[in-house]
Amino acid sequence: MDLAALNKVATAMTQPGKGLLAADESSGTIKKRFDAIGVESTEENRRDYREFLFRTEPAMKDRISGVILYDETIRQKAADGTPLVKIIEAAGSIPGIKVDAGAKPLAFCPGETITEGLDGLRDRLIEYRELGAKFCKWRAVIDIGDGIPSHDAINSNAHALARYAALCQEQQLVPIVEPEVLMDGDHTIERCEAVTMWTLKTVFMELYYAKVQLEGMVLKPNMIVPGKKCATQASDAEIAERTISVLKDCVPSAVPGIAFLSGGQEDVEATARLDAMNRIGGFPWHLTFSYGRALQHAPQVAWSGKKDNVPAAQAAFSHRAEMNGLATLGEWTEAIEKKAA
């Protein structure tokens, strides 16, 4: 393992001013997105949609450091025959790949899941590396509810994340470690804080046991937010302060960068909260974004499957990428958001 090379990629993925485009929706998830805009989820439509995102300038060059792909997408070619991976690289962005097989019910733990996909992972990583991937992603899901999460759910998912990360580094691929505490439900922000702290401490313990080198990974956590159904919501400032506090308590300084998931937050919410954290400062890691819906919802609506709408959709994508890029620098404001819209 060449740790210096892994660190170089991880640092580039989380560099200030840029962030990750999570374009790794499964076939089922992107079908839901397309259904919402009245577009049939065919392979051609999925390719055309992702192709115009990856060809969007100046967003890809200036604001997107890397793109997380799905198995189908990393193998696809553009309409002119160019591999999509090559289009991403030509824009100066780093291609990566989602490698987990999804969250499945955890035995004897009602309402909880374990992410599967470790079987055969080493061979799949070798293939993905040959297809051009430089990093990988694995998502673990931790739900908050009556009596959950359980010790088993957190420990099992943390152990799987560590095994995945070790295999990635063995194959000279940077692992994105994503333990997501869901924002569904009516739990308070204090409950999210406690569960996230428990989860992160367990994950880093398992990473240590698995001999994962922290300098060669990226953390993709949730922000500390109350559940969507909680009667008491929180300000951007409180969310930023609580999130930074948890990260300082749980994440070693050796980790080069943290790329937040949006987790169902509204587009501008996700941007504003990332900006608020970067304005606080005083932490050892680069804080950036790894957004799916928060980057793609606006361009999907603008596109709606019509070729003539591609320029408008690319403009919508460029806008969200620009706003989030400013947020990584602590330079986003609501006034800039409205003026640039």
Q: Identify the CATH number of the domain in which residue 156 sits.
A: 3.20.20.70
CA distance 243 to 275: 12
- Mean pLDDT throughout 272-279? 98
Task: Kindly report, residue by residue over 132-189, the tens digit of the pLDDT.
Answer: 999 999 999 999 999 999 999 999 999 999 999 999 999 999 999 999 999 999 999 9
Side-chain half-sphere CA neighbours of 5 within 13 A: 9
Q: Which residues pair with 288 in a beta bridge?
A: 259
Q: Residue 111 is part of which domain span?
A: 3-340
* Contact indicator for 141, 103 with CB cutoff of 8 Å: yes
Q: Coil, strand, or helix at residue 62?
A: helix
Residue (of 278, 259, 257, 272) closest to 323 by Cα position: 272
CA distance 220 to 196: 12
* Contact indicator for 78, 47 with CB cutoff of 8 Å: yes
Is 77 designated active site?
no
Give the rounded distance of the alpha carbon of 295 from its chain centre: 11
Q: For the chain, what's the residue count?
A: 341
pLDDT at position 338 is: 86
Task: Kindly report, residue by residue over 289-309, the tens digit of the pLDDT.
Answer: 999 999 999 999 999 999 999
Which tokens in the block code for residue 260? Answer: 């937040």
pTM: 0.96
The one catalytic residue among 18, 98, 134, 220: 220
CA distance 95 to 133: 5
pLDDT at position 141 is: 98
pLDDT at position 340 is: 77
Is 178 designated active site?
yes
> What percent of the chain lies above the pLDDT cut of 70?
100
Rg (CA), the chain: 19
The one catalytic residue among 25, 178, 180, 337: 178
Total domains in the chain come to: 1
